[in-house]
Structure 1
Amino acid sequence: MDPRIREHAEIIVNHSIDCEDGDHVVIDAHPVAEDLTTALVEAVADVGGHPLVIQERLGQRFRRAYLNNYDGEFETPEHTGALYEAMDAYIAIKGSDNETQLSDVDTETKADYERAYEPVRETRLNKPWNLTLYPAPANAQVAEMATEEYENFVWDAILKDWDAVREHQQEMADRLTEAEDVRIVSGDTLDVTMSVEGNKTLNDYGEANLPGGEVFTAPKKYSVEGEAYFDIPIYHEGHEIAGAHLVFEDGKVVEHSAEKNEDYLTDILDTDEGARYLGELGIGMNRDIDRFTRNILFDEKMGDTVHMAVGRAYPETVGEDNEQNSSAVHVDMIADMSENSYIELDGEVVQRDGAFWFEDDF
């Protein structure tokens, strides 16, 4: 086994979920990630925990079979919810033998299923959890990289001193938490304003997501104004949307287009009422992620980018006096901020062409 796999597992168990003696840990993984799953079982056992390996969300061949063959009305899977209610922590390992397994499932069917599944998702997200990736050949292929090249890319982004990352990112997290108004400009294709007053910015340093490498918050639901062209493609459930363009009024997407798969973008925005509002503003800060790989776990952390997610807001980012945007979807859209771009907080430029005010090259 590659020693980096055991290092990866130890970071998850000891840093990301902080597993303790007696913890019941659910590990959700595709068989292609068997080495990492095995290393996780060993690491959980080493601290006295009790692992259970399943294929629930990440067994996509099974989910495809269910969604394409079930002909009734989807019900909330209470038995799955009971498992997550009983566990102490959840680890999900992305990585598969076919990244487009769900591409022939009807989009409305997927939306109906996600709506029914939402209470289970809330149960799962209210426990310590971690989402990571095993660099499988199928993921390398989607990223248009050789397998070994992709393995090096993945582990360079993951095997880091996450305490040092936390310290580096905290200045931006604190400044965004203190801010009221945000303006994001990139060339002449993106100019969006929003309020984040009263909401909290989280510093992602490898806990819920591994790799980490972003700070993120939620805009106030009805405050987003302007238009945004996302020059980095969106890769969602086997579909690539390129050149997405959104126009916001009073927080809502009132116009949209895409250069590729516009119909699929429309399906996302039509999932429910909340899908046309932003649930997240994130700023990518992991500069070891230096290219688009069609994997949002990495792409949204890419250095010198911002992302805005339509749909569900994370409750941890929403202040008690502000409305949380609810939706069955959460789809991130990414824009490059490395040239002719800036982020402004309360009238002060805090990032210019990818560099932050506290960095030497600002």
Structure 2
Amino acid sequence: MNKNFLTNYVELALKIGINLQKNQPLVIISPVETADFTRKLVEQAYKIGASEVIVHWSDDFCKKMDFTYKDKPLFKCIPEWQFESLMYYADRGAAFLSIAANDPELLKGIDPEKIALSQKTRNIKFKPYYDKVMANEIQWNILSVPTLAWAKKIFKNCDNEEAIQKLWDAIIYSVKADTPDPIRTWKEHLNTLKEKMDYLNNKQFQELVITNSLGTNLSVKMPQNHIWASGKDITKNNIEFVANIPTEEVFSLPHKYGVNGIVYASKPLNYGGTLIEDFSITFKDGKIISFTASKGEEALKNLIDTDKGSKYLGEIALVPFNSPISNSNILFYNTLFDENASCHLAIGQAYPSCIQGGNNMDSDAMEKNGVNDSLTHVDFMFGTEDLNILGIDKNNKKENIFVEGNWAF
């Protein structure tokens, strides 16, 4: 890999992604397989001025062994220190950077009850931390680095070295680290996304009608005073950051009880090491009333059954079909990339920041305003090249938002 591109990527992660501040702690969550890149992050973070850099390592092999051999009741427990290790630094103003690079089929063949139990237990235990993330109380960022199992899933016919190289090339291109001035390129990109965001916020459409040839026919009502956001977020301490690198989306929250119709997924969903493929979900008054999947249906069921809120949506995100990741024609089997190649919805928790006053709402106020609360937040993709989205305003005036997969304005 070109050393300059790697340096650019590290700089983007720290300066655009989390926007690391001088004397600020940094927590990195990383697979052991990406250790070389993580060490570059650690070194550069200290050079920028981090007061402390803490790395939480994970390992796919050990995770699979746990799920293979551990007794099911043990997945009901998470040691207190694992939760405290995140909250300790979150409460002290740390920034958090996660590397998402797992084997898409790591848990293939594993007892789905173990997987569901583990995910629900973790979601319950870590909810106070996730709430901080969802409310933008801390700077956070997710990016990715190639791992062998992931690369081989995408580039099946390549040898190991070539598969890794092809995935590196695709990632570097999608995050714009191969441009002459990546920091400037990103600032220009974020300004473009802001233009779309501002337009939608000014319009305040009350309803979106979504259709395509897959069979999607979905009506999505938007809450009063909803807010569209884009790639750049800001913490309560007024520090700007970019949660996802790459990012191509403009997103908001649907009204919890205002979604009706059917949506067909346009890409597989990698959920907790299990692939869910060729699936559709039907809604009535916001609630999921039925679903189908050709593969991974039990995993989809377990996701939907996480809690009461996981039967409703928490996010709608708009991404043009004519965008860098989509144009690469690569199915990444990684939500970070696939969701930025396609319009998507999220099952579960809404971002409180996507409605006026949301970060200060208690659970009763969230419910009253149609803001979904849940233990989980899982994106799935529905965008296609023939996707049409119609916006309807308070005067019942209709306007095209997407035509043939792309922005209409």
TM-score, normalization by structure 1: 0.89
Q: Summarize the Cα distance change of 1:188–1:66 in structure 2 as closer, same or farther, 3 Å threshold.
A: closer
3-state DSSP of counterpart to 1:121? helix
CA distance in 1, matches of 2:351, 2:100: 20
- For residues 317 and 209 of structure 1, what CA distance do their matches in structure 2 show? 17
Give the number of aligned pairs: 353
Maintained 8 Å contact 2:104/2:270: no
What is the DSSP-based 3-state SS (H/G/I as helix, E as strand, rest coil) of the residue aligned with 1:127?
coil
Question: 1:144·1:293 contact (CA, 8 Å) conserved in 2?
Answer: no
Q: What is the one-letter code of the residue matched to 1:275?
A: S
Match of 2:390 among 325, 341, 344: 344
**2-side partners of 1:53 and 1:63: how far apart?**
21
**1:63: Cα distance to partner?**
5.2
Maintained 8 Å contact 2:97/2:140: yes
Query: Which of the residues 170, 186, 195 maps onto 1:171?
Result: 195
Displacement of 1:19 in angstroms is 1.4
Q: 1:232 to 1:141 in 2, by over 3 A?
A: same
Please point out which of 140, 147, 153 is paired with 2:151.
Answer: 140
Aligned partner of 1:116 in structure 2 is 125
Give the CA deviation at 1:62. 5.2
Identity %: 23
> Compared with structure 1, are the counterparts of its residues 73 and 187 closer, same or farther at alpha carbon in structure 2 (3 Å cutoff)?
closer
Does 2:84 align with 1:79? yes
Q: Helix, strand or coil: the match of 1:216?
A: strand
SS in 1 for 2:243: coil
Q: Distance in 1 between matches of 2:324 and 2:165?
A: 16
> Which ranges in structure 1 are unaligned for 5 or more consecutive residues?
none
CA pair 71-137 structure 1, distance change in 2 beyond 3 A: closer
Matching of residue 289 in structure 1 with residue 295 in structure 2: no
Q: Deviations over 1:131-170 (max 9, x none)?
A: 1101222221222362211111111011251112122222
Deviation track 1:57-100 (CA, whole Å, cap 9, x = no partner) reads x445555666735637436654222233224211111225x444
Q: Find the counterpart in structure 2 of residue 211 from structure 1.
A: 246
The residue that corresponds to 2:5 in the other structure is 4
Aligned to 1:315: 352
SS at match of 1:6: helix
1:92 matched to 2:95? The reply is: no
Higher relative contact order (CA 8 A, sep 6+): 2
Distance in 2 separating the partners of 1:129 and 1:271: 24
Give RMSD over aligned pairs: 2.3
Equivalent position of 1:280 in the other structure: 315
Instruction: Quote the offset at 1:122 in angstroms.
Output: 2.4
Give 1:221 deviation, angstroms: 0.6
Task: Please give the per-residue CA displacement for 1:294-351, whole angstroms capped at 9, x wherever unaligned.
Answer: 000000000xx31111111122213336242111222222123212x31111221121
Letter in 2 for 1:53: I
Alpha-carbon distance in structure 2 between the residues aligned to 1:135 and 1:30: 11
- Paired position in structure 1 for 2:138: 127
Distance 1:102 1:52 in 2: 30
| Greater helix fraction, Structure 1 or Structure 2 | 2
Tell me, yes or no, if the aligned pair for 2:45 and 2:53 is still in contact at 8 Å: no
**What is the correspondence of 1:38-57 to structure 2 with a 5 Å cutoff?**
38-55=39-56
Match of 1:195 among 215, 221, 229: 221
Deviation at 1:11, TM superposition (A): 0.8
